[in-house]
Amino acid sequence: MNLAIDYHRTASTTASVGTVSADATRPRRGEVYDLLFGSEAAAADNPFLYVLQRCTAPGTSTAVVPQPLDPADAATEMDAGENHTVEPTYTAAAILLEIPLNQRATYRWIATEGGRLIFPATASNGIGIATPTSSAVAVTVQAHVNER
């Protein structure tokens, strides 16, 4: 099933924007196939670096309910969170996407069938989104994820 996940936070160099991960007790594989990064803050020139990195534990965050794109789909097992207070356990060097952006810019990445970012059906394994270089302004990330 295809799901939309919407993350918001005031960007921080030390706290992640959000995570999407397999459920801790009923894990399923997930595939990120569409990503949108941007800032809804008042227009200004600030440099941002967005990083997607694999994680093995999602940390502590505010829960976000992934929304099925087809309302007829059953509830998802996938877990998502935003506004982290305890960082996810990132896998060293397992960076999947790194994109430098000006705050005024909006970035979209779409994967074809063979290029989706897949995380395993392993408890709490997933992908985190961080802004290791940023100003403290509001940012939004929209992720579309397929749960198998």
Interface residues with another protein (CB under 8 A)?
24-27, 29, 43, 47, 49, 52, 93-102, 104-112, 114-115, 117-118, 120-123, 125, 133
Burial letters 92-120, b for 16+ CB under 10 A, else e = eeeeebeeebebeeeeeeeeeeeeebbbe
Q: How far is the CB of 130 from another protein (least distance, A)?
A: 13
Q: How far is the CB of 117 from another protein (least distance, A)?
A: 6
Task: Give 26 or 85: the residue with its C-beta nearer to another protein.
Answer: 26
Q: Which is nearer to another protein, 96 or 138 (CB)?
A: 96
Give the integer Cα–Cα distance in Å for 22 and 100. Answer: 27
Q: Find how far residue 76's CA is from the centre of its chain.
A: 16
Smallest gap from Cβ 141 to another protein, in A, equals 15
47 or 69: CB nearest another protein? 47
Q: How many CB atoms lie within 10 A of CB 121?
A: 16
In the bound state with another protein, the residue whose beta carbon lies nearer, of 105 and 136, is: 105
Residue 77 has phi, psi (to 5 degrees) of: -90, -15
As measured in angstroms, the least distance from the Cβ of 71 to another protein is 28
The H or E element containing residue 62 is strand 60-64
